[in-house]
Amino acid sequence: MCGAHDNITAAYEGFSAELIAAGLLIPTGAASVYGYNGVFEDVIERFDALVSHAGAALKPEVMRFTPLLTRENYLRTDHLETFPNLMGSVHSFLGTEKELPELIRKRQQREGWADDLGPTAVMLTPAVCYPLYPTATGTLPPQGRLVDLRGFVFRHEPSADPARLQMFRMHEFVRLGTPDQALDHRNYWLKKGEEILQSVGLDVKPVVANDPFFGRGGRVMAATQREQHLKYELIVPVASAEKPTAVASSNYHMDHFGHSFDIKSSDGEVAHSACVGFGLERIALALFKTHGYVPAQWPHSVRQAMSL
């Protein structure tokens, strides 16, 4: 057990060291927070173009949000109850000029200056679909809605694994509508996602998955989610062959968000939803692991598929 753990940690550290040496990742001093060079970014953008292209065939609405969510909308979800350890809250100095010298004194004396900060109106977004739901309150059109979202999200999960980041880009397609529309979307994208990833030489496998709900109550929720086959991930070896990584997920939420945000389908029932999410940094890392650190030397078919 301990040996397996050591092997995996060694694989994570070896892979990050190679990516840094190749110039692809730029360390920042914080675990799981990197900068990326132009080669890495080009791979992200070209892969993302394949995803956008596949989605565009379905004529989605395109929406882009910043990685911020109002505190009020955050609290309409159950993220605080189910993923408290992953949350990111934005704080600032909310005091008066008279209180500033005390903040400066604490900072200079290396005391707990952050204790003097207060919560702003915003939280960091944990998934790119979160800012959509509050805008969808009300009744959906008969055909439901399909939305293309992309952006950075935050999850407080520092790790030695370069594929487990604290801030990363997700490209999602979200379906709001009837249970059938949502479930069809989940299944369509599981297949389509597999096709897109196979087309760039990633031999992904679909597996039943669960969200990483917190604590003992969370284990029960995770078991229920798995039993009901609500969420699937496409996994492929990235840093470690022993422990493949999820590069995309397709998840049927049932009426979870419809209920929280008072979204109804045109028949008056609480709307159901599903989303597929492509983890763009993870996919780029999987490509570098599989094909090497120099895209010009990748297999012809992969370069052609990605217009590299």
Nearer CB in complex with ligand ATP: 34/261: 34
Report the length, in residues, of the chain.
308
Nearer CB in complex with ligand ATP: 163/271: 163
Task: Tell me which DSSP letter residue 124 carries.
Answer: E
Which residue among 46, 145, 150, 164 contacts ligand ATP (CB under 6 A)?
Answer: 164
Strand pairing report for 118-124 and 89-92: antiparallel
Cα(308)–Cα(306) distance, integer angstroms: 5
The least CB distance from residue 222 to ligand ATP, in Å, is 10
**Residues 260, 242: contact at Cβ < 8 Å?**
no
Which residue among 11, 24, 68, 170 contacts ligand ATP (CB under 6 A)?
Answer: 170
Residue 150 touches ligand ATP, criterion: CB under 6 A: no
**Residues 103, 140: contact at Cβ < 8 Å?**
no
C-alpha closest to that of 282 among 13, 22, 32, 96: 32
Beta bridge partner(s), residue 270? 264
Which residue among 42, 157, 184, 255 contacts ligand ATP (CB under 6 A)?
Answer: 157
Helix (H, G, I), strand (E, B) or coil at 263: strand
Which residue among 119, 141, 158, 212 contacts ligand ATP (CB under 6 A)?
Answer: 212
Nearer CB in complex with Zn ion: 212/215: 212
Cα(202)–Cα(92) distance, integer angstroms: 43
Which residue among 211, 243, 266, 303 contacts ligand ATP (CB under 6 A)?
Answer: 211
Which residue stretch of 6-14, 220-228, 258-266, 273-281 sits at the interface with ligand ATP (rule: CB under 6 A)?
A: 273-281
Contact set with ligand ATP (CB under 6 A): 155, 157, 163-165, 168, 170, 211-212, 233, 246-249, 277, 279, 281-282
Contact set with Zn ion (CB under 5 A): 212
